[in-house]
């Protein structure tokens, strides 16, 4: 499965982006918010999941790993497919969704296009307790309590990268931390260089 895509935006629509990943342009379906936040020519990093159907293969993209995880979890509910799962994320943040489920707030859940009262009840029944421990976005989690991540993030944003892109790069570097430097006394210069390499800018 394609876990993420990184490249420049070649084209954009109301709920999709075409990402130039080298020899091919990959069309990624996303929420309108994500689609509108990236212009043609901009660099983009999206966490992705591939949904295979008899008549189509569709790549869905998300700004954070948490959103992707929620998208996949919502599809486990009886009667809910990827389009409605995406509509959930277009309407509610992961935190708002978790709160609505735990509070059995059917009014909030039915505010999502395509979800009626019965669908909302199924979501509560099948997901209550499941989304409580969703992970924080990878970059934020990796940076928690780590001074190096703050320094690297500041360096990346000062060079023009967005906060989300910085988070994505930090998540990658965090997974290589012990290979790159001494975790107890990290070399910020080395880590910043690795983050830039992860973002295809050297």
Ordered by start, the domain boundaries in the chain are 4-62, 68-127, 138-198
Q: Which CATH class is domain 68-127?
A: mainly alpha
Distance CA 24, CA 160 (A): 25
Ranked by mean pLDDT, the top range of 116-130, 157-171, 172-186 is 116-130
Distance CA 14, CA 55 (A): 22
Q: What are the pLDDT digits (tens) for 87-120?
A: 999 999 998 999 999 899 999 999 999 999 999 9
- The CATH classification of domain 4-62, taken from the options 2.40.50.140, 3.40.190.150, 3.90.870.10, 3.90.25.10: 2.40.50.140
For residue 200, pLDDT beyond 70: no
Closest CA to 152 of 137, 168, 138, 136: 168
Distance CA 141, CA 72 (A): 20
> Based on the number of CB atoms within 10 Å of its own CB, is 144 exposed (0-12), middle (13-18) or buried (19 or more)?
exposed
Distance CA 16, CA 73 (A): 21
Q: How many CA atoms lie within 13 A of 84 on its CB side?
A: 20
Average per-residue pLDDT for the chain: 85
Closest CA to 195 of 157, 145, 141: 157
Dihedral Cα 190, 195, 201, 202, nearest 10 deg: 10
DSSP states of 49-61 = EEEEETTEEEEEE
pLDDT at 51: 92
Q: What are the pLDDT digits (tens) for 38-87?
A: 999 999 999 999 998 888 899 999 998 889 999 999 999 999 999 999 99
């Amino acid at each position: 499965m394609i876990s993420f895509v990184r490249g420049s935006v070649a084209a954009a629509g109301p709920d999709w982006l075409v990402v130039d990943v080298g020899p091919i342009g990959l069309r990624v379906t996303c929420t309108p918010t994500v689609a509108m936040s990236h212009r043609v020519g901009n660099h983009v990093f999206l966490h992705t999941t591939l949904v295979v159907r008899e008549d189509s293969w569709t790549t869905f993209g998300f700004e954070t790993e948490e959103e992707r995880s929620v998208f996949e979890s919502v599809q486990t509910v009886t009667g809910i497919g990827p389009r409605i799962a995406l509509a959930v994320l277009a309407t509610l943040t992961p935190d708002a969704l978790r709160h609505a489920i735990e509070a059995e707030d059917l009014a909030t859940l039915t505010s999502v296009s395509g979800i009626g009262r019965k669908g909302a009840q199924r979501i509560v029944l099948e997901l209550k307790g499941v989304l409580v421990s969703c992970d924080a976005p990878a970059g934020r989690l990796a940076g928690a309590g780590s001074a190096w991540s703050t320094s690297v993030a500041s360096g990346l944003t000062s060079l023009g990268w967005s906060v989300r892109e910085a988070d994505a790069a930090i998540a990658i570097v965090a997974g290589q931390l012990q290979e790159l430097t001494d975790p107890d006394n990290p070399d910020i210069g080395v880590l910043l260089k690795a983050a830039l390499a992860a973002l295809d800018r050297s």
